[in-house]
Amino acid sequence: MKLVYVFDAYCGWSHGFSATLREIVSRHPELPVEVVSGGLFTGPRAVPIREFGHVQGANAQIAERTGAAFGEGYERLIADGSFVMDSEAAARGVAALRRVAPDRAVELATALQHAFYADGLSLSEPATYRKLAESAGLDADAVVAAFQDPEASLAAADDFHRAAELGVTGFPTLLAVDGEHVVPLALGHGTADEVDRRLKAFAASLTSPSDN
Q: Residue 54: which pLDDT band, with cuts at 50, 70 and 90?
A: confident
The answer to whether 136 and 153 are in contact (CB under 8 A) is no
Q: What is the predicted pLDDT for the residue at 55?
A: 85
Residues 23-32 pLDDT 10s: 999 999 999 9
Instruction: Assess contact for 5 and 33: CB atoms under 8 A.
Output: yes
pLDDT of residue 207: 86
- Does the pLDDT of residue 183 top 80, yes or no? yes
Q: Whole-number mean pLDDT of the chain?
A: 95
> Which pLDDT score, from 0 to 100, does residue 6 have?
98
**Residue 127, Cβ density class (10 Å: 0-12 exposed, 13-18 middle, ≥19 buried):** exposed
Predicted confidence at residue 212, as pLDDT, reads 44
User: What was the pLDDT predicted at 210?
Assistant: 56
State yes or no: pLDDT of 51 exceeds 80: yes
Per-residue confidence (pLDDT) for residue 209, from 0 to 100: 63
Q: What value, to the nearest 5°, has the Cα angle with vertex 190 and ends 102 and 164?
A: 55
Residue 208 has pLDDT above 80, yes or no: no
Of 91, 112, 111, 108, nearest in space to 100 by CA: 108
Band (pLDDT 50/70/90 cuts) for residue 104 is: very high
User: At 103, is the pLDDT very low, low, confident or very high (cuts 50, 70, 90)?
Assistant: very high
